[in-house]
Structure 1
Amino acid sequence: MRAFIAIPLPGPIKKRLCELQATLQGNKAEDGKQAGSKEDKKKRESAFKASWVNAETLHLTLNFFGEIEPSLVDVITPAMQEAAAGCGPFNLTIGGLRGFPNLKVPRTLWLALKEEHGLERLRELKSRLDTALKRAGLDIEERAFKPHLTLCRIKHRDEGRRAAAQIAGIPKSELPGGTEKKGIDFIVDTFVLFSSALEPGGAVHTPLFTATLNE
């Protein structure tokens, strides 16, 4: 089975990110226009084409294992408990909208985390988890940890240009991190081992074990 460890997002945060995705797509009805009307439909048809991540499955990945034997769950869970012990809850703030490789012709749209809002605590948790997993005998990918939330992936350059034009027309006040000190705050108090299966309707993530942060 495919498995990964991630920080789940609270329901209200998922709802706000779903609304943000709708804003980026141009699916938000304008004042005086009913959602689904011809005027609103015309507006939505001008939005760019992309593969959008289901907001219900959004998460902050800590470790991705790929395919593993089910028996490894019994090895991973004690390592998660070890990492959680002595590491209390902390706050994170979702900040600005970013694009890869850039926002001029993006292939991916994603959200960064604000550096001064709990990011160091997140890095500490990641380090503790990596150490515990290595001690348990698991191979951990050695790469820079860049926590982010992917909103969508864009296949064609023309659609990337349309995305850039769409974003340019959105008031900064409607984007997280778009105005001074503005962001989306949430508390991290758990992290979860998930299995992942690709179904016709998209990826299905099933929680296998939850570790609770405690000091």
Structure 2
Amino acid sequence: MRLFVALDLPDAVREPLAAWRADVPDARWVPAERLHLTLRFLGETSEGMTNAITGHLERIRRRPVPIATGDLIRLPSARRPRALAVRVNETAPLGALVSRLGEALGRAGAPAADHELLPHVTLARVRQPDPAAIRKALRGLDPPEAEGVATSFSLVESRQTPDGPEYVTLLRVPLAETPTASGG
């Protein structure tokens, strides 16, 4: 199974981002129901490891995480823009959740993250990027600023289909409880 852990976006963030579009050549816009903030990509994961990960993630207790979007970014770079995304502002609650996830995943036996988190929400993917055409299409356009509070995160399986990825939520963990003295 190809897995990732995602912060579930509140409607106050998801809806304005899903409604924003630019006339970018060869862009495939991500449907509203697939918009998320990846907290940790796990990749191909065995069933046994998935069960261990699930067990550790469901014990995490954190407060809700405020989310505020920032500027438009091109990934992996402006010179090779394969994706258009909106940056999510880094906050202490988001950093604390990412740290807690890392600890829980480590206890489950998952490999350490191979790079630092760049908080963002992917809005579109570009198959045959033309950097100059993308720059021209985006000139003077910015996605709407959006704010909200995320009240859950999920363990998600990504299944590849001819129409793009299909996401199946394996576990949803609420972010509503007060952290415990044991570091939860």
Given that 1:75 and 1:136 are in contact with CA atoms closer than 8 Å, whether structure 2 keeps it comes out as: yes
How many Å apart are 1:105 and its aligned residue?
7.3
Worse overlay, 144-153 or 201-210: 144-153
Give the aligned partner of residue 135 of structure 1: 107
Q: Normalising by structure 2, what TM-score?
A: 0.83
* Conserved 8 A contact 2:49-2:109: no
1:107 and 1:75, CA in 2 relative to 1: closer, same or farther beyond 3 A? Answer: closer
Contact 2:12 2:148 in 1 (8 A): no
* Code of the aligned partner of 1:201: D
The Cα of 1:89 is off from its aligned counterpart by 0.9
Letter in 1 for 2:51: D
User: Mapping of 1:49-64 within 5 angstroms?
Assistant: 49-64=26-41
CA RMSD, aligned part only? Answer: 2.2
User: What is the rounded CA distance, in whole Å, between the counterparts of 1:141 and 1:106 in structure 2?
Assistant: 23
> For 1:126-165, what per-residue CA distance to the aligned partner results, in whole angstroms no more than 9, with x for missing partners?
11111111122221223211111112233445x3222211
Provide the rounded CA distance (Å) in 2 between the counterparts of 1:184 and 1:141.
28
Q: Which residue of 1 aligns with 2:165?
A: 203
Partner residue in 1 for 2:43: 66
Gaps of 5+ in 1: 26-46, 177-182
Q: Show structure 2 runs of 5+ residues with no match.
A: 179-184
Alignment of 1:1-215 (within 5 A): 1-21=1-21, 24-25=22-23, 47-82=24-59, 84-85=60-61, 87-100=62-75, 101-102=77-78, 106-115=81-90, 119-156=91-128, 159-170=130-141, 175-176=143-144, 183-213=145-175, 214-215=177-178
Higher Rg: 1
Structure 1 or 2: more helix by fraction: 1
Q: Residue 76 of structure 1 contacts residue 136 of structure 1 at CA under 8 Å; is this kept in 2?
A: yes
1:143 is paired with a residue of what secondary structure?
A: coil
Length, aligned pairs only: 176
Question: Which structure shows the bigger proportion of residues in strand conformation?
Answer: 2
Q: Render the CA deviation track for 1:9-28: whole Å, top value 9, x for unaligned.
A: 2345333222112xx12xxx
Partner deviation per Cα, 1:15-59 (whole Å, 9 max, x = no partner): 3222112xx12xxxxxxxxxxxxxxxxxxxxx5222333332111
Q: RCO greater where, 1 or 2, for CA within 8 Å and sep 6 or more?
A: 2
